[in-house]
Amino acid sequence: MTIPALLFTVMAFAQSANTPFIKLVQPANGQNNVRSSKQFIVGSTCKSCGLSINGEPVKVYPTGGFAYELSLKPGDTSFTLVAFFPPDKTSTKTISYNYTIPPSPEPVKTPDIASIETFPEGNLYVMPGDRIKFKVKALPGSTVMANGKIPLYEMPNNKMPGIYQGEYVVKETDSFLVSKIPVSLTDSAGNTISKQSKYWLSMFSPQMPNVAVTKGRLAHLLFGLGDDRLGGAKIGYIDSMIPLKVVGKVGSDYKVQLSKYRTAYIPDDLVEFLPRGTFTPESLTGKWTVYGDDVYDYVQLGLSARLPYQGFQQVDPARIIVDVFGATNNTNWITQLENTKEIKNVSYEQIEDEVFRITIELKHAQHWGYSIYYKGNILVVQVKRQPENLSLNNLTIAVDAGHGGTNSGAGGPTGSSEKMLTLAVSLKLQKALQQAGAKVIMTRSTEKFVDNKERILFYRDSVPDILVSVHLNSSADPIHVAGTATFYRHAGFRSINNSIYKRLLELGLKEYGNNSSFNFMLNSPTEYPNVLVETLFLSNPEEEMKILNEKFKQQVADKIVLGIKDFLESCKKGK
């Protein structure tokens, strides 16, 4: 390229860099109907531009990003945004809000039923003994009945008159069909009205198959029907071909009876039914063997059938606890060989009817992972040993760049995307770990989509020593919410999370916490210590500015490496 042509290119770039524009990421529309007075205008302009909103100057970060908080008053309000570059270059955009204060709830004033709620919520298959709860909003002072025979009672001293509640215990004589539940109201004048519930109800017939077996490699039990954006809280993953007694269904989740006093739920796509007449197995405990091979320690418990189980970690002292449902103690001794290197001792306890507890005491303070599976009808707990050489050049570290492909993740004021930035940080982390001598395996090293289930199975098969999943956080509040955080689920993996968290705080980021019991799929595996790093809030323009900087990305990667080294040093001291 000739010097004049190069000079022209540079001048053209400088001119475009100084050309005002306004690109909004929030709100997405020019006209917005809202129910909250607190709103934010978030977006970007040219890096050298100034910005005003209704004449008030707004801070523009070196990236061009900005965020502005509104406190609306009821009614229509317009805001004019002006981006400018002196002396006379401007760009203007106008957005409007219609803020309506949500009306206060009012009681029903005519013979009517305003709403019907049933709990559990969803279409139900029920059995005798199940409890169905009703909550109905209707005309105060009326007689309200569910299914023609279940009286609902108006709640006294309630802020909202006309709230009726009641509970029904399903009886052997009930013959609910697959139908919605009728709710009737009779007012003081004798007027009657009837409406149906949103969901249907049916008896779980004795003629229906009631034993299902788990299928696939990611079958999991749920504690209950609670839900959030990460899904229901998981008890844990369980092996395939485990029979479960099905005692009902709520929505798409089967209710299963694990033991006399314990139930759980499992998604319907994770089981298949056995023929009618199959019964749920129970088992006496048989022969035990505790031993080690060249890589792992093992606990093997003989059973006459595959039974469901739950495993969890305890710390101080470090122990693995496994509850086997449907098992009854018939063990007279446990054979423990001297070739174990991580298992210190194994004991058992019948903690209640049909719940047999295995306690595995570990020699080291730090948990390095375990898995539970069946070999035939033998329950196996495979325990990962603490590495003899606690240095990075002896370990395999998995680096998971969050999101990717169609899953963009969070977005920043300038239009930056989490999927691209996590990849950029992860590649720097990969290089930093390799320079420290570690072997590194990556979920992805290019911009592509990888399903979370694929990620779990990939690492279950690879069995890294440590997994670090890199993410960026987001908040609806782009101004006041900021900071770095780590997330883990299992108690035995807290230490590595805390070590990395403390190092990230050295970057001057705010505290957002070392968070436990995190119900995210990548934190669910027990096979290896894992940490999810929410490096900072991409939604915050100041923190977006930091992570867009190549030097800061490198600093994040270096701090994670230092955190892992700190963790390894603490393992040496803890022995």
Tell me the pairing of strands 530-537 and 466-473: parallel
If 0-12 CB within 10 Å is exposed, 13-18 middle and 19+ buried, where does residue 193 land? middle
Q: Where are the domains of the chain?
A: 3-99, 113-203, 213-273, 283-384, 392-574
Q: What pLDDT sits at residue 350?
A: 97
Q: What pLDDT sits at residue 5?
A: 52
Q: Is the peptide bond before 464 cis (omega within 30 degrees of 0)?
A: no
Rounded to an integer, what distance in angstroms lies between the CA atom of residue 52 and that of residue 92? 10
Rounded to an integer, what distance in angstroms lies between the CA atom of residue 401 and that of residue 421? 9
Q: What pLDDT sits at residue 176?
A: 77
Query: Of the candidates 308, 318, 319, 300, which has an alpha carbon nearest to the alpha carbon of residue 245?
Result: 308
Rounded to whole angstroms, what are the CA distances from 487 to 80, 96, 558?
A: 41, 39, 19
Q: What pLDDT sits at residue 16?
A: 60
Whether 80 and 56 have beta carbons less than 8 Å apart is answered as no
Rounded to an integer, what distance in angstroms lies between the CA atom of residue 501 and that of residue 492? 16
Tell me the per-residue pLDDT of 511-564, one tens digit each, with 9 for 90 and over.
999 999 998 989 999 999 999 999 999 999 999 999 999 999 999 999 999 999
Three-state DSSP state, 51: strand
What is the fold of 283-384? Answer: Immunoglobulin-like (2.60.40)
CATH C-level class of 392-574? alpha beta
Q: What pLDDT sits at residue 157?
A: 79
Tell me the pairing of strands 124-126 and 89-99: unpaired
> What torsion, rounded to 10 degrees, do the Cα atoms 237, 238, 244, 248 define?
10
Pick the CATH number of 113-203 from 1.10.3470, 2.60.40, 1.10.10, 1.25.40: 2.60.40
If 0-12 CB within 10 Å is exposed, 13-18 middle and 19+ buried, where does residue 306 land? buried
Query: Are 3-99 and 113-203 the same fold in CATH?
Result: yes
Q: What pLDDT sits at residue 8?
A: 43
Q: What's domain 213-273's architecture?
A: Roll (2.30)
> The tokens of 29 are what?
């529309």
Query: Residues 6 or more apart from 406 whose CB is under 8 A from it?
Result: 449
Per-residue pLDDT of the chain (575 residues; tens, 9 = 90+): 555 554 444 444 444 678 999 999 999 999 999 999 999 999 999 999 999 999 999 999 999 999 999 999 999 999 999 999 999 999 999 999 999 999 889 999 999 999 999 999 999 999 899 999 999 999 999 999 999 889 999 999 778 999 999 999 998 888 777 789 999 999 999 999 999 999 998 988 777 889 999 999 999 999 988 776 677 889 999 999 999 999 999 999 999 999 999 999 999 999 999 998 788 889 999 999 999 999 999 999 999 999 999 999 999 999 999 999 999 999 989 999 999 999 999 999 999 999 999 999 999 999 999 999 999 999 999 999 999 999 999 999 999 999 999 999 999 999 999 999 999 999 999 999 999 999 999 999 999 999 999 999 999 999 999 999 999 999 999 999 999 999 999 999 999 999 999 999 999 999 999 999 998 989 999 999 999 999 999 999 999 999 999 999 999 999 999 999 999 999 998 76
DSSP state at residue 422: H
Whether 46 and 21 have beta carbons less than 8 Å apart is answered as yes
Whether 247 and 260 have beta carbons less than 8 Å apart is answered as no
> The tokens of 39 are what?
């709103």
Rounded to an integer, what distance in angstroms lies between the CA atom of residue 44 and that of residue 64? 5
Q: What pLDDT sits at residue 56?
A: 97
Residue 88: count of CB within 10 angstroms of its CB: 6
Tell me the per-residue pLDDT of 562-573, one tens digit each, with 9 for 90 and over.
999 999 999 998
Q: What pLDDT sits at residue 7?
A: 42
Q: Is the peptide bond before 275 cis (omega within 30 degrees of 0)?
A: no
Three-state DSSP state, 551: helix
Tokens 């955009």 sit at which residue? 93
Q: What's domain 3-99's architecture?
A: Sandwich (2.60)
What pTM, to 2 d.p., does this model score? Answer: 0.93
Buried b (16+ CB within 10 A) or exposed e, 363-373: bebbbbbbbbe
